[in-house]
């Protein structure tokens, strides 16, 4: 069983004209594929589908039980691809992938960083380069996110894929050496540190010269 149920209709006509007619009804075209079966052309309510995905804790990894159209009803799917308008962002096409609840599959899971790095407290900047992780897991075991505490990261430290906590039974299918996030050292902070080090070195040098002069006068 999926997380939610959603009703779809079979779609007989194709092409731009048919797509425009669907949009006038508040519908968008889509397909259901996977499971080693022939793809099924469908249409669905664009606004309701978009609201369902956004409201779900699992996002695009929401397991959806299809209802309504013969040939699609009874299938459990996930949204593999959502095509949107460039300006308004409304849905224009939906690709749904039929899943086998007993077989592992590859999915992209969001990475959520928690906590404030120690290096950020000192003036650094947290830069997150990777925001998703590819996992191989059972459909019913897809995590909503991969959460990792970064509060221990110091200035210049990095977090890698190999450092992420992965749920039992899941396999990481992303390069383990990839950098997830780094605490960057701002140039201004680096310059200040270098100036401070230079001043300290100069102070030490003056102190050494003073000691040497004192020794010469004693002799």
User: Which residues contact residue 193 at a Cβ distance below 8 angstroms, ignoring those fewer than 6 apart?
Assistant: none
CB 28 within 8 A of CB 92: yes
As a CATH number, domain 4-98 is 2.40.240.10
Q: What is the side-by-side strand order in the sheet with 146-149? A: 146-149, 105-114, 132-137, 171-172
- Its pTM stands at 0.78
Q: Which of the four CATH numbers 1.10.8.60, 2.170.120.20, 2.40.50.140, 3.10.105.10 does domain 106-185 have?
A: 2.170.120.20
User: Which residues contact residue 212 at a Cβ distance below 8 angstroms, ignoring those fewer than 6 apart?
Assistant: none
**Residue pLDDT, tens place only, 137-190:** 999 999 999 999 999 999 999 999 999 999 999 999 999 999 999 999 988 776
- pLDDT at position 28 is 92
- pLDDT at position 6 is 96
The average pLDDT across 106-133 equals 97
How far is residue 136's CA from residue 45's CA, in Å, rounded to a whole number? 31
Domain ranges of the chain: 4-98, 106-185
Give the SS3 label for residue 158. Answer: strand
**Residue pLDDT, tens place only, 91-104:** 999 999 999 999 99
H/E element, 20: helix 16-24
Of 103, 143, 139, nearest to 1 by C-alpha is: 139
Dmax (CA) of the chain: 107
């Amino acid at each position: 069983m999926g997380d939610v149920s959603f009703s779809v209709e079979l779609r007989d006509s194709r092409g731009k004209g048919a797509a425009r007619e669907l949009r006038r009804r508040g519908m968008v075209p889509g397909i259901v594929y996977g499971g080693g079966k022939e793809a099924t052309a469908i249409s669905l309510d664009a606004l309701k589908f978009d609201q369902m995905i956004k409201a779900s804790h699992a996002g695009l990894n929401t397991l959806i039980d299809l209802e309504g159209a013969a040939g699609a009803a009874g299938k459990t799917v996930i949204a593999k691809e959502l095509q949107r308008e460039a300006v308004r962002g409304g849905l224009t096409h939906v690709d749904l992938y039929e899943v086998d609840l007993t077989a592992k599959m590859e999915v992209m899971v969001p990475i959520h960083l928690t906590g404030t790095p120690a290096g950020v407290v000192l003036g650094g900047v947290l830069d997150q380069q990777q925001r998703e992780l590819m996992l191989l897991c059972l459909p019913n075991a897809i995590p909503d996110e991969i959460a990792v505490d970064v509060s221990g990261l110091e200035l210049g430290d990095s977090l890698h894929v190999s450092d992420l906590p992965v749920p039992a039974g899941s396999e990481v299918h992303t390069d383990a050496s990839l950098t997830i996030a780094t605490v960057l050292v701002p140039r201004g902070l680096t310059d200040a540190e270098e100036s401070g080090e230079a001043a300290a070195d100069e102070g030490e040098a003056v102190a050494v010269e003073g000691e040497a002069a004192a020794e010469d006068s004693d002799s």
